[in-house]
Amino acid sequence: MNKFAYVDCKTVDETLAQLGPDATIKAGGIDLLDLMKDGIVAPPKLVNIRNVSSLRGITAAPDGLRIGPLSTLTEISVHPEVQLRYAALSDAAGHAATPQVRNMATLGGNIMQRPRCWYFRSTDFDCKKKGGTSQDCHAHEGENQYHAVINNGTCAMVHPSSTAVPLLAMNAEVELTSKRGKRTVPMSGFYVPPEKSLINETVVQPGEIITSIFVPAPEPGTRSAYQKYGEKESFDWPLADAGVVLVMAGQHCRQARVVLGVAAPTPMRATAAEAVLTGKTIDEATARAAAKAAMQEATPLSQNGYKTQLFQTAIYRTVLLAAGQMQRDPSAIG
């Protein structure tokens, strides 16, 4: 690991004063320290924000939910209002990683964690995402069983944030603060696909810090669910995860938002699935049709074709769970 300076901040202003081209924010430190120990990043200065108390806390108001970026995944998953009105978010936070990780991992760090791809996360490969000279994505010809099945032409990494899935489905917004002031970015514009930039995965600029995440209040009749499927029952990243938000009138679906994690390099809306569900009665047949539609645009690689089937199962079951027609799937993990 490289030598680095370590600065402890207590306020947002102190943090902003420390941020510069050589500085990296540290929240729970789970992903950042992994990357440093593996030699993938070598920041000269770590700015620890864990003691910035104003960045903690979950506030439920009539207009929505305001979550401090230092709120841990555990705190989000057990919060009564999140469980009651934002079930998909509580489920996603509560089924990420392990209890130990969830106690340390913060929401800000979770949506900002770097992508999963063993070519990116190993110093043995000159992946173009790390500035390497290799023209093609190593996963195209190499080991690609965990990689993206959609939009994988430029780079086949996946972004593993479980919480980003419901946050995108719920139209959440991220507040960014810098010395220049504040700006708000919708989750739909937060992640940058590899065709736009291979280096930046989000729109967060150097000198900016996430100071709040806002989730608008669900309209009457809204129900939501999230499920994650993987190889191990715990201590594992998703192979397929889905978040579904339905605005229902009885069994009739007035509006649907279906979001897939780890299908593409960034969390993505499955608009074809949403079109199948909207205006229909939700039952097993519509859920299955939506799941199938979502995978029409898949372009699986040599070893990850199984993920398209896994996604269909994830979408089918999460739609039925959101509609109240199925219990949480016992084979879902976390």
Ligand X SMILES: Cc1cc2nc3c(=O)[nH]c(=O)nc-3n(C[C@H](O)[C@H](O)[C@H](O)COP(=O)(O)OP(=O)(O)OC[C@H]3O[C@@H](n4cnc5c(N)ncnc54)[C@H](O)[C@@H]3O)c2cc1C
* Subset of 275-334 contacting ligand X (CB under 6 A): none
Q: Does 28 bind ligand X (CB under 6 A)?
A: yes
* Subset of 159-178 contacting ligand X (CB under 6 A): 160-162
Contacts of 248 by beta carbon, 8 Å cutoff, 6+ apart: 221, 222, 223, 254, 282, 323
Residues that bind ligand X (rule: CB under 6 A) add up to a total of 31
Q: Does 18 bind ligand X (CB under 6 A)?
A: no
Q: Does 112 bind ligand X (CB under 6 A)?
A: yes
Q: Which stretch binds ligand X (CB under 6 A): 109-117, 127-135, 214-222, 271-279?
A: 109-117
Q: How far apart are CA 159 and CA 264, in angstroms?
A: 8
The residue (of 101 and 256) whose beta carbon lies closer to ligand X is 101
Cβ atoms of 26 and 51 closer than 8 Å: no
Q: Does 71 bind ligand X (CB under 6 A)?
A: no
Contacts of 44 by beta carbon, 8 Å cutoff, 6+ apart: 2, 4, 5, 22, 23
User: From the CB of 218, what's the least distance to ligand X, in Å?
Assistant: 22
When binding is defined by CB under 6 A, the residue of 19, 36, 69, 329 that contacts ligand X is 69
Q: How far apart are CA 239 and CA 241, in angstroms?
A: 7
Tell which residue, 321, 65, 291, 297, has the closest CA to residue 171: 65
Q: Does 238 bind ligand X (CB under 6 A)?
A: yes
Q: Does 105 bind ligand X (CB under 6 A)?
A: yes
User: From the CB of 290, what's the least distance to ligand X, in Å?
Assistant: 24
Strand residues in the chain grouped as ranges (E): 5-8, 23-26, 45-48, 58-61, 64-67, 173-178, 181-186, 209-216, 222-229, 240-249, 252-261, 268-269
Which residue's Cβ has the minimum distance to ligand X? 109
When binding is defined by CB under 6 A, the residue of 75, 82, 91, 109 that contacts ligand X is 109
The residues pairing with 53 across neighbouring beta strands, listed in sequence order, are none
Q: Which stretch binds ligand X (CB under 6 A): 75-83, 105-113, 125-133, 319-327?
A: 105-113
Contacts of 271 by beta carbon, 8 Å cutoff, 6+ apart: none
Q: Which residues bind ligand X (CB under 6 A)?
A: 24-32, 69, 96-97, 101, 104-106, 108-110, 112-113, 160-162, 204, 209-210, 235-238
